[in-house]
Structure 1
Amino acid sequence: MIARTRVLLAMLACTGAAHAQEMHDHDHPVPEKLGTVSFPIACAPAVQQPFDRAVALLHSFAFSAAQKAFREVAAKDPKCAMAHWGIAMTDFHPVWQPPLPPATFAEGQKEAQEAAKLQPAAGPDRDYIRALGQLYRADPKLTSAQRTMAYEQAMAVVAGSHPDDIEAQVFYAVALLANASPTDKTHARQKQAVAILAPLFKAHPDHPGIAHILIHACDSAELAKQGLDAARKYASIAPSASHALHMPSHIFTRLGLWDDSIASNIASEKAARAQGDLMGQLHAMDYLVYAYLQTGRDKEARQVIAEMKKLPRLDMTDFAIAYASTAMPVRVAVEEARWDEAAAITPPQGAPESVVAIALWAKGIGLARTGRPDEARAQGERLRAIEARLHVAGDTYWAEQTGILATEVMAWAAQASGNPAGAVALLSDAAEKEDRIEKRPVTPGPIVPAREQLGELLFEQHKPGPALAAFQDALVQAPGRAGALRGAAKATASSASL
């Protein structure tokens, strides 16, 4: 018997995003639909339903809206410890951004300490709050990785102590993903999360957190098919959350289901725009551009970029905003093989160096492909310098990704300089390194996968057999990519004519 009785958050919800938009257009209030969540707490009965709603928002990563909702709970019941737990949880962005920025950490720590002061002597609330305390321990010597690992271990205890508690299982799965290494190609923690969530999804198909985190757990070439049912369902569970409308496209992208991805991100972009969620809007637009390019709808992709350029001044210090706004025009220029356009790309001002690297890569590739290898190598050296600085800063993941970009630029510069063997060696090295690292959720994938580039390089060198093998390998990791499909077709035709 499940200890936490499920409560429907919105009984009169619209049946989909299209109906919600229609209601909005006619100036009627849009019934909210965030999914089915019940999280009984030792607080005043009057705040139970608002607390459930706040948790539902949290499950869909609507962090700002969730924090506002938890603060309203705290205002209605000043003795509610779990309201402060919720506020602190909205400052923890697992999957997206496990390392907590200093200001965000300080805010979360304050709320975690307040929750600890108010916590009951016994019961599930106390266990959740004590686990949270591991994340926000007042020890400056602890690294972010140590904190998230301690939190995962504490949540394993909570989940084990309360096996019938749906929320304990979901938040434990989230903690597992927060510690999943992008270099672990066995996907050990993701598989642990899937083992927890898959049975729960069958039993509780309207719970937003189960579907959402299951999609994140399956966001890899190996596991994507296991996340397809959740991807088909999540948008209808919580259509009032723009992220719920977007998140299915992570699985659609992994499986090359481009029309599904396009529909998902059109809906998400509109919802995020209506809700003033600029990061969510740009994230959906980036995935939309990527999907349009895979279906040959380049005109629509450029229209999305035109709409992006109309947005108010973007905060380029925000990684997610900077990444999406930088990647979109780069994707179009490179995927369309407009090398002069790529060579003219200017790195964004004020953006994190891991984002600047994308623009430098595109510029370097464009210069190499237009016969300017020395200038291309200069961009490669700039990338190497960024790689070194990121390593010093402890940002190992983006340092390695930047190193791969630098190697790709140097490979194409070698090709342009008349060193085909050196070019193949460099690009083969880049492909092998990229194969060992998973992408972050911030991106639908590399602008052009290294192995797909290797296929292009080998084809240019009149080696259709090896080129075909490279394209086929690329399609295993990224099914349905237009460039790899075209390349494989050209290589097949060329081999047949020999």
Structure 2
Amino acid sequence: MSRERLAPVPASDEYYDLGSFGHSITTTSADAQIWFNRGLIWVYSFNHVEGAYCFEQAIAHDPACAVAYWGLAYAVGPNYNKPWEKFDQGDLHTCVQRGYDASRQAKKYAGNATPLEQALIDAIQFRFPTNQPATDYPALNKGYAVAMKPVYDEFGSDLDVATLYADALMNMTPWALWDLFTGKPNPMAPTMEVKAVLEKALALEEDGANLNPGLLHLYIHFIEMSPTPELGINAADHLRDLVPDAGHIHHMPTHLDILMGDWRRSIASNHKSTLADDKYFRKSGANNFYTFYRLHDYHSLIYAAMFAGKSKVALEAVTRMESTVPEEVLRIQSPPMADWLEQFMSIRIHVMVRFGMWEELKMKALPRDQSLYAGTTAVTHYARGIAFAATGDVASAKKEQELFHQAWDRVPVSRLAYNGKIVDVLQVAGAMLEGEIEYRCTNYDKAFVALRRAIDYEDKLPYSEPWSWMQPVRHAYAALLMEQGHLEEAAKTYRADLGMDTSIIRPCRHPNNVWSLKGYHECLVRLGKMDEAAVIEQPAKLALAVADVPIKASCFCRLDNSQSPQLLDQYSSNGKCC
């Protein structure tokens, strides 16, 4: 191995509570078995950094354990959220060398392994055919998936083999198994083969399918972009709380909770997720790639709270999140952490817009380092422009609009917003700000054209859960339509946002959200459609009862509801990062 081997740590030492899942391996060491189980759980939980550490501990306890080297090679390779294309050159060279060395060590010791372990070891060689980075990543991904096929054919009744084969197939076209606009499988992806593998494995309940975190996790990712994400709810409920100290496992079911509009359950599970993640942060710090997942889990909590109208939950979570991201982490060059993490630094600003904190926004300071926080700088100008427009200061709003465009031009194209880029997400901001300013200038037709353009940009963002634009433009558009008396169009917009028809893609529907429930009910009453209004009156009442701010419109930008109640001072800090 090219890296210095770790000193063995007794498995009996205090460690995270990862539940009881495991996979029996060939080893002479009980400690190696425990560390291997931990490594497998962590990679199934998408904490590949900790997974690699655990596999290295298994090796330290049993240097001849072939499958422990396989685990290390698997952990340092690509995954669904970090395919080969997203490695920077330094990270890529390091991981390829580690993976190559580990896979060859696995092969070296494979003589004493079981036939199943030998088959996995043979397949992992195709993920690292040389110790130099490849140039044709699709071919590399396909080569590994093809190599896993005979492993699955022979050992497919083993749930971990099924999971690993499905993972290999999914990584051929990550986040592209389905066409969101047709609702059909992507013809360039092995979608139906993935479906067959996962659902056959999930049917093996007596063999522990409902206790396998990797299998359940992958099924959520498989089904969430489909037109029927509700089919994954049972798997999600089995996964929920399965691995107590793995924050991302608590979080994953909420990918479906959000799509179903189960905002309170999403808040509860993501809160548990952040508590587990904070435990990991206290022990391991922020200087690791799992920080991306920690912030994603926080983001999901905040997003759900926003749709539930729970400002205190959202702002408390923002403050907790920001406290775990020291600026020096964003300055790490390899992997380029600012590219991965800066998207989360503007979340507070989106929350402030959602809850109409106009006076606070007008005083919101710009980041000290506007190069490091390039995207946050642009979002700050956008939000200040919205705030000035909403309070009638159009001249200041236009100044912020100009500054927004200048800042937007300075955002590096490498800055990510999950599966998309911050520069593309800012298209939504630009069109929304234009619409708000035109509206305050009483250029209503121009305003609505701009807002419809913002909606189009929003709908066409690459899939992510949560969506990379945090407040649906439809909420502002419909609120302003109502103000101008366009009730039928407003009702149509609310209906689409609530997912009460199929006029927009599945991920852009937000069932049961308090903002559209309130707006749609008001529309129906004003239109005299009392029978329809009665149908949603009770859901609207429940949603309004859950919210912690009075909600009189779907957006605080509506002129007759332009000022939100004052939020508690401790929840409106400027944020540690800026």
Map of 1:420 onto structure 2: 444
Query: Which is richer in helix?
Result: 1
Report the alpha carbon displacement of residue 62 of structure 1 after superposing the two structures with TM: 2.5
RMSD, aligned α-carbons: 3.6
CA contact (8 A) 1:373 1:414 kept: no
Secondary structure of 1:237's partner?
Answer: coil
Which residue identity is paired with 2:95? Answer: G
| Kept in 2: contact 1:289–1:301 (CA 8 A) | yes
Structure 1 counterpart of 2:519, one-letter code: G
Match of 2:513 in 1: 481
| Structure 1 spans left out of the alignment, 5+ residues | 1-27
Report the CA distance shift for 1:469/1:135 in structure 2 as closer, same or farther (over 3 A). Answer: farther
Asked if the contact 1:343–1:365 (Cα under 8 Å) also holds between the matched residues in 2, the reply is no
Q: Give the aligned residue type for 1:447.
A: M
**Alpha-carbon distance in structure 1 between the residues aligned to 2:137 and 2:440:** 43
Partner of 2:198: 197
Query: Partner amino acid for 2:46?
Result: F
2:101 to 87, 92, 114: 114
Name the structure 1 match of 2:88.
Answer: 101
Instruction: Provide the residue aligned with 2:559 in structure 1.
Output: none
Paired residue secondary structure (1:205):
helix
Q: Is the 8 A contact 2:451 2:473 kept in 1?
A: yes
1:374 is the counterpart of 2:359: no
Instruction: Say if 2:231 is the partner of 1:238.
Output: no
**1:11-43 deviations in whole A, cap 9, x for unaligned?**
xxxxxxxxxxxxxxxxx96883435332645x5
Letter of the structure 2 residue corresponding to residue 164 of structure 1: S
Equivalent position of 1:288 in the other structure:
301
- Answer yes or no: is 1:409 the counterpart of 2:433: yes
Which of residues 310, 319, 332 is equivalent to 1:297?
Answer: 310
Please report how far the alpha carbon of residue 208 of structure 1 lies from its aligned counterpart in structure 2 after TM superposition: 0.8
Q: Which residue identity lines up with residue 334 of structure 1 in the other structure?
A: V
Counterpart for residue 523 of structure 2: 491
**Aligned residue in 1 for 2:76:** 91
Instruction: Confirm whether residue 332 of structure 1 aligns to residue 348 of structure 2.
Output: no
CA 1:293/1:81 → structure 2, altered by over 3 Å: closer, same or farther?
same
Name the CA distance, whole Å, in 1 between partners of 2:469 and 2:313. Answer: 20
User: CA offset at residue 219 of structure 1?
Assistant: 2.8
**Counterpart contact for 1:34–1:57, Cα < 8 Å:** no
Pair 1:226 & 2:231 matched: yes
Aligned positions of 1:243-254 closer than 5 A: 243-254=248-259
In the TM superposition, residue 352 of structure 1 has moved relative to its aligned partner by 6.6
Q: Cα deviations across residues 414-437 of structure 1 (Å, max 9, x unaligned)?
A: 333443223322322332343244
Q: Look up the equivalent residue of 2:82 and give its one-letter code.
A: Q
Structure 1 residues 90 and 457, CA, compared in 2 at 3 Å: closer, same or farther? farther
Question: Within 2, Cα distance between the matches of 1:206 and 1:414?
Answer: 55
| Counterpart residue number, 2:168 | 175
- Structure 1's 150 and 340: CA in aligned 2 closer, same or farther, altered over 3 A? farther
Say which one has the larger Rg.
2
Contact 1:163 1:169 in 2 (8 A): yes
CA 1:360–1:227 in structure 2 vs 1: closer, same or farther (change >3 Å)? farther
Q: Which amino acid in the other structure matches residue 316 of structure 1?
A: L
**Structure 1 residues 97, 30: closer, same or farther in 2, change over 3 A?**
closer
Indicate the SS of the match to 1:172: helix
Cα distance, 1:455–1:36 mapped onto 2, change above 3 Å: same
Give the CA deviation at 1:337. 2.0
CA displacement at 1:70 relative to structure 2: 0.4
CA contact (8 A) 1:88 1:107 kept: no
Percent pairwise identity: 20
Letter in 2 for 1:269: T
Query: Could you say if the C-alpha distance between residues 184 and 136 of structure 1 is closer, same or farther in structure 2, counting changes exceeding 3 Å?
Result: farther
Letter in 1 for 2:424: E
Distance, in Å, in 2 between the alignment partners of 1:340 and 1:207 is 49
Task: Name the CA distance, whole Å, in 1 between partners of 2:413 and 2:380.
Answer: 17
User: 1:82 touches 1:115 (CA, 8 Å); kept in 2?
Assistant: no
Q: Deviations over 1:105-153 (max 9, x none)?
A: 2232122222343314895445544544444455656165664455445
1:15 alignment partner in structure 2: none
Equivalent AA in structure 2 for residue 90 of structure 1: A
Which residue number in structure 2 is paired with residue 166 of structure 1? 159
Give a deviation string over 1:438-477, Cα, whole Å, max 9, x none: 4324x35521123333323423433121111112112221
Alignment correspondent of 1:67:
52
Aligned-pair distance for 1:213?
A: 1.4
Match of 1:452 in 2: 475
2:544 aligns to what?
none
- Cα distance in structure 2, aligned partners of 1:309 and 1:387: 21
Structure 2: gaps spanning 5 or more residues: 1-12, 332-336, 500-508, 530-578
Q: Counterpart in 2 of 1:77? A: 62
CA contact (8 A) 2:345 2:376 kept: no
- Contact kept, 8 Å, 1:134 with 1:150, in 2: the verdict is yes
Q: Among residues 235, 257, 267, which one is paired with 2:262 in the alignment?
A: 257
Contact 2:378 2:404 in 1 (8 A): no
Say if 2:489 is the partner of 1:466.
yes
In structure 2, the residue corresponding to 1:218 is in which secondary structure? helix
Give me the whole-angstrom Cα distance separating, in 2, the residues matched to 1:359 and 1:95: 31
- How many residue pairs match? The answer is 466
Distance in 2 (alpha carbons) for counterparts of 1:73 and 1:398: 40
Distance in 2 separating the partners of 1:422 and 1:146: 48
Provide the rounded CA distance (Å) in 1 between the counterparts of 2:380 and 2:137. 29
Where in structure 2 are the equivalents of 1:52-63 lying within 5 Å? 52-63=37-48
Question: Equivalent residue for 2:547?
Answer: none
Shift of 1:232: 1.3
Rounded to whole Å, the distance in 1 between the matches of 2:45 and 2:450 is 41
What is the Cα deviation at residue 173 of structure 1? 2.4
Report the equivalent of 1:19: none
**Structure 1 residues 381, 309: closer, same or farther in 2, change over 3 A?**
closer
Q: How big is the shift at 1:234?
A: 1.0
Task: Find the residue that maps to 2:135 and give its secondary structure.
Answer: coil
Over 3 Å counting, the alpha-carbon distance change for 1:36 and 1:391 in structure 2 is closer
